[in-house]
Structures are given as C-alpha cells and as structure tokens.
A and B are shown apart, each in its own frame.
Chain A
Amino acid sequence: MSSHGIKDRVAIVGMGCTRFAEHWDKSADDLIVDAVTETLDSAGVGRDAIDAYWLGTLTSGYSGMMLSSALKLDYKPVTRVENFCASGSEAFRNACYAVASGAYDVVMAVGVEKLKDSGYSGLTRANPPDDGTSLSLSAPARFSLLVPAYAEKYGVPREEIKRAMTRVAYKNHFNGARNSRAQFQQEVSEEKIAGAATVAGDLGVFDCSGVSDGAAAAIIVRAEDAHRYTDHPLYVKALAFAAGPGTGTYDPAYDYTTFEEVVRSARDAYEQAEVSSPADDLMMAEVHDCFTPTELVLMEDLGFSARGRAVADTMSDKYALDGELPVNPDGGLKSFGHPIGASGLRMLYECWLQLRDQAPPERQIKPRGRRYGLTHNLGGGPGECVSFVAIVGADQG
C-alpha cells in the first residue's frame, strides 16, 4: 500500500511540555525556550547534541528562524512545517524520517502556538486573497454538521448524541482535573456541560476545546542509540499521514458522519505497527477531540467502535480513564487546551508519561494490550482535512 513503515527504527528519548494556558506573560519564544529546555533535560543532553530541528506552528511565526532566533541556535538546520492542527505531528513525523534515513543522529521536533495574543476568543488566521465565495462558518459550526447527519444516518436521536457529547466533555474534564499541565483542571458536571450556552448547532461552550498557548518537544534518535539517553525510550511503531482531496463540501457521496482521511491514515498506521485489533491492542489513545462530536466519530474511524456504536460505547464509559480503552487520559484538546502547533506533540507527551508509568497515580492507566499508545491529530474540518496517526510503544518488537 502506501508506506514503508519505520517500525522500531527510531525512538523518543526525551520530551517536554509547557502547561497549556492563557499565558499572557509569555511569548511564543518563551514557550519554545521552556519546552525545549525541559526536553533537553529529560534526555540529559545539551543543545549541542541536537543535529537538526523541525518546528510545527500554524500562525505564530514563519520559517526555521522562529526557532533558531528563540534558542540562538548556531546555524543548525531548522525546518518549519505547517499542516493545520496537525502541524506538531507533522514536525514529529518528518523529524523521525530524518533519523530513520540516516541523515542525522539526534533531532528535535518542537510544536508551539500563541493563540491568546490575537485579541479574539477563537482560532484566527489570515486567509489567502479570494473571490469571497467560500462559506465562512466558525470551526464549531463546521464540526457541528456531524450531528444532524449522524442522527439521520444511524437513527440515533439528537438528544442521545448530545448526551454522549456531554459524556465526552465530562470525561475529558475529569481527566484534565488530574493533570497539572492542563489548561482547565477542574471537573465539570454533566448538568453544567449540557446546560451551557449554545455556540453552534448542538454544541455548547463545553463541547469545544480550549483556546490556549503552549509548546511541546521531543528528541528522536536511532532505536539502537536510545538506551544511551534513557532506560525507558518510546519506540515509534507507525507514522501515517493523509491529506484528503478536500472534496467533501461538494461531493454528494460524503455523508458528514466520518473522516475518510482518518480511516485511511489509521489503516496505514495499523499496518505499519502490525495492529490488527486496535481496541484490544492499544493501551491508550490520544485523539483530536477539537469538538465533542469529533471524538465520537473518531472512535468509529479509528476502529475502536463499530459504525453507529460510538454513542453507546461512550455512554458505557468504554473510553473513560478506567474503561476498556482510555481515550484522552490527559484531558484532550477539550481540557488540556489546543495551541495548534503544539497539540500533536502534547499527545505524544501523554504517551511518554503513560507508557513509561510516569503519569501521576491519579490518572496512570494500568498496562493492557501491547503497551502501545496511539495519537491522532487532524486539521481542517469534516470533508476536507488532513489526518495524522502515530503509534508508539514502550518496548521493541
């Protein structure tokens, strides 16, 4: 098929992540310095050990100089990548390939975003000049299109979907309340979530991810070198990326109940990692819960729930912290916050903690399956998105 995987050829040996928050007192440069410093410390290396860098950011800066000037790097190669909300994941993917190719021994992937300085409460970005004919809906509105379509296709009443959306938000706030780096660290009752002011469609304020500032980073080396840096590296099992044709908004065959890009990237990742039954083989998953119905649909697209079953599985707490397959144990985009370029690496950071038994006891997941963690990250909207799926594992083989 599409890719030759690099299973077990590279490993993560150090990670860092700032708290995701409204950092009025920090610039994007500050966030980069904080995340990179923590990452270097966790691997026990100085910055001279890093041969090359990949930087993911959507709107917070341009070119490799955003990183090199913040860190005062001495003429190292820095590649800035952008792929919507999967920008951090894309930085990680390309950094891994650079090591796997043999081009570099030690590289770093950094993701950063500074959203709160825009003056707006939602995500904003400059659009290329155009003819003014594209439909200008807010991000929650675009994702809320999933709900009536899903209800129509599977005959699930809208109220039931809303209850499951509320459960997703409740779960992710519950998990975030056990995470000192999350933007929101308080549990929120289902009653409060369900009763919140409507933002778009069936989405209330609590059905939306947090808009925040933050940065995260990872150091990647060849697998055989990993134990020079840590006793507990994470091995990269799969890296898959799919950019959709962007036809969903004008293709009548698209039914707004799935992300084909996710289905394709997940299939590729499972092949690379030799995962045949994701719901059984994985220990945990960090998925792109930008809005609560997104997480519901992702459970099906990633193969965790059968088609039409995500609502029921969510209501039976299959994806809760102590459920069959914990999803977003760190609180997800929902409560951890979503500084675009940083999110993909933040998801890996949770795998870094959980698979190495270093999450705080109140949210540490018990080992199950193959001690594999999946991260999923998408950018765009229903019918026109990019999707990234990574699988990392605590052990080789």
Chain B
Amino acid sequence: MSDPVGILAYAGYVPYRRLRRSAIAAVLGGAAGRGTRAVASYDEDTTTMAAEAARAALRARPSDVGSVVFCSSFPPYADRTNATALHAVLGLPEHVRAEDQCGSVRSAVGALIGALHRPGGALVAIADTRTGPAGSADESGGGDGAAAFVVGRGDVLAEVLGTGAATSEFLDRWRAPGEPWAQTWEERFGEEIYAGLAERATDRALQAAGLEAAHVDHWAVTGLSPRAARRFTQGLGLAEGVLVDDLSDRMGFAGAAHPGLLLAAMLDDARPGDTLAVTVLADGADTLLLRATDAIARARRPEPIAAQLAAGDASLSYASFLTWKGELQRPAPRRPSPDRAVAPAAFRGTGWKYGFVGSTCEKCGTRHLPPQRVCLSCHSVDTMREEQMADEQARIATYTIDHLAYSPAPPTIGVVLDIDGGGRFSCELTDCDPETVHVGQRVRFTFRRVSDAGGIHNYFWKARPIVEGTAP
C-alpha cells in the first residue's frame, strides 16, 4: 500500500499589529465593535506574510518540494509571478516550479486540494490582506494573515480522508481588477444559496471519507458571508466543543488565507487520530476532511496560532491603519523618495536580497553580510562559501530612532546586530515600540517590503524582537 496523502508540514502567520474595532468607532462614531482585527504592518504584504508562514513550515520539514504555489486575493504583482519571491526567500533549487493561483478567495482551497497529488509534493502558501471602505463591515471584519502547507505523499501529520465540492454561479461578492474593495449583493440572498451548497459539499466529503458528521472531532467553518457560515454551522448540529473558534473576534476574516489559518490552528491542538473538517463558503462550498496521525505530535509549531494571537500589539491607531492601507494621504518627509531597486543588481544578489545568504570565509571563518569576495579579516580572495542566515538570532549592539528617514510609519528604527553564530548586520527593526529598544535586545529576522518605487516592490530583510517564550 502506498503512503497516505495529506499534510506533511504546516504553519500559520498572524501579523504583529492589531486594530481594535473600538478604535474605528472612536473616529467614525457608531457602535464600537468587539475585539481586534489583524493588520499587515506598513512593511508587509501578501508575499512577505506568505514567506513568513512558508519559512516556518519548511523549518518543520526541511526537504525538497516539487513546486511552490502562492495564493492570494491581493497579490502584490499582476502579470508577473509572485511565487518566485517565495522560491528565492526559501532558497529552493531552480528545478522547483513556482506559480500563482491568485484571484478569488476560493482559489486557495482549490490550490491546496489540487496540490495533494502533485509529483514531489508541493508547498502551498496562502496570504491575504482584507479591508473595505472606512467604517464598513469588511474593514472591521476583515483581517490579514497567512498560512503555508507542505502537502503530498509520505509521513503525513494529517491524512486527507475526503473532499467535497459544490459550485454555483451567483453574484454574492465581486471586485473589478484594480478596485481596492469588494462589493456585495444583499447578504440574505447569498445566505440562502450558500447554506444548501455547503450541506451538499459536506455530504460529498463525508461520503468520500465513509464518515458521518458526528465522527468529526474539530470542525472549522468560514467563508465570504458570515451569515451563511453561521446558518450552515447551526444546521450541522455539532456536539459541544466540536466547532472551533473562527478567530473573527481576534483577527478578523483573512480571506483566502483564513481556511488555512483555521486548519493550522486545529492542527496546533489536534491529537493523533482526531478527525478534522474545514468547510469554506466561497463561490460555492468546499469541505475537506482529515485525520491527524501520530506524526502530529512531532510536527507542533513552536509558535502556534494561539500564541501569535496573544502576542500582538493592539495600540495601532485608526489613522495609522488607514495610512498603511493607502486610504489616508499624509505629507511626505522633506527627503528624496526611495530609489527603485534595479533589476540586474537585484538579480545578481538574489541569494542575498531574498535568501539572506551571506558568505563565510573558508580560511578564517569570518561571516559577511552582505556577502563579500574579499574577507574583511584575512583578506583572502574568493575563498567564501555561501551561508543562509535567515534563521539566526542576534542581539542589538547599538541602535538609533530616526525621525528623518523616509518611512510610511516613522520613526525608522535602525539597529546594528551581532549575530549569535558570528557576523554583523545593520538593518531596520520592525514590529516593536521604539521606546522599548535597547542594547542587548534579542531579535530575529523577517522578510519585509522595505520600500516601493516605480511600481517595484523592494523586498529585503529586517529584524523583529523575539517575544519571550517563543522561538522561530
């Protein structure tokens, strides 16, 4: 009998920043909503968040994958493939195919199911950023986040038992290309249609798996219409404790990434033998049934979704949120705008710029970030080997809070870092309160969008503080 098909590794990523829903009401009036929504920082987008999730997933299972798939309803680029950046960040070999399955929220579920049988296994990285007009339900109810799964055949931590789909063409939610926000038809219309679609998709999945709904230990339900998802859930008649928290209070609905985040959260808690279900209502419905294996115990992520949700910073102002989302124009500093990163230099330095690959002198062991041809210590020429530094940790040697540098979120925090395994690197510090920065502080590295110019996203690495009790 051949190896089972399923999930080989996984990780979710919830950005550090949160917006309290009450902060919206404080500005716009109206009822103060409960809880918070997750917000991609000014230096994050769906590529960087997918990269963070993918890095964490691959750390759990450091072996080759046959292909990399990127899914998002808000990809940073049109026309060119976004997954190539992930491919470069992860340092994957050239023969690994990278492709996007972007566009609709449903595309992510399709990508995940479709990747199960790809030769060589696949890494599916899903990320989304969601918002809407100021004060809208989409704005407060949306959320930003990412999840990544290595799927295929082998020593799976969760075996796929069956999938079921139901498809229907109806106008529930739509967004013309280039438009910042979606529009929706009256929600009660979609609710009606979705309820039936989800039931039938679920029946098909249960039938394929030879199970009944009562056999499911943990069930996640999410979708484009919260009303429809609620109605379907009520109809399932699940036992107490089976339906998992849909995280909407704590991080909002992260669009294409949300089913992945819920699945990751279920895997964080699942015991060997547990049966898991995910139902997604998006232009139809999909239900995915899985069973956790014994391997789940050794696949636990050091940063479970719950820990990431607990670690966020909810002090973000609504004005900053709007600024980061491009909805509020603020004056530019009296400094020249950033230059665009040029293609040939970026191509020559792909290993450095995306993979954070420095060079280590074979003669004397000195590490160089960025990579050098001439050793700074022993001056040997071309005696270097490449070394990936992304998972290293470091301490702050000195730092500055720069109120003049060009930034969408001033001040810029500049840090000089001493890396644990040797080497020195100077970069920006992100995801932290400038008041708390200090010499000796522990940090790790994160892939970010440093600037934008000429339509070119300038990606590179920054540092972020290590939160007590977590590890990369």
Contact = CB atoms under 8 A, between A and B. Distances in A.
Interface of A: 119-122, 124, 127, 129-133, 135-138, 140-142, 144-146, 148-149, 151-152, 198-201, 245, 247, 249-252, 254-256
B451 A256 contact: no
19 contacts: A120-B335, A120-B336, A121-B334, A122-B334, A122-B404, A129-B339, A132-B346, A133-B460, A137-B400, A141-B412, A144-B400, A145-B400, A149-B439, A198-B403, A201-B401, A249-B424, A250-B426, A256-B397, A256-B398
Instruction: Please classify the interface of chain A as helix (H, G, I), strand (E, B), loop, or mixed, using the class held by over half of its residues.
Output: loop
A165 to B, nearest CB: 14
Contacts of A141: 400-402, 404-405, 412, 414
A59 to B, nearest CB: 12
B406 interface: yes
Nearest to A255: B397
Given A141-B402, A148-B439, 15 more contacts: A120-B334, A130-B341, A130-B342, A130-B345, A132-B339, A132-B342, A132-B458, A137-B412, A137-B414, A144-B402, A145-B414, A201-B401, A249-B416, A254-B424, A256-B398
B414 A132 contact: no
Interface of B: 334-336, 338-342, 345-346, 348-349, 352-353, 368-370, 376, 397-406, 411-412, 414, 416, 418-419, 422-428, 439, 450-451, 458, 460
Given A122-B335, A145-B398, A250-B369, A131 B346 contact: yes
Nearest to B418: A252
Nearest to A257: B398
Q: Which of A132, A135, A245, A247 has the most CB of B within 10 A?
A: A132
B340 A132 contact: yes
A256 B460 CA distance: 24
Contacts of A122: 334-335, 404
Top 4 A-B pairs, shortest CB-CB distance:
A132-B341, A141-B402, A138-B404, A149-B398
Nearest to A254: B424
A132 B460 contact: yes
Contacts of A146: 398
B393 to A, nearest CB: 15
B342 A131 contact: yes
Contacts of B424: 249-252, 254
Given A124-B335, A245-B376, A136 B345 contact: no
Given A135-B427, A140-B404, A256-B416, A148 B398 contact: yes
A131 B416 contact: no
Contacts of B422: 252
Contacts of B341: 130-133
Contacts of B450: 132-133
A153 to B, nearest CB: 10
A136 B406 contact: yes
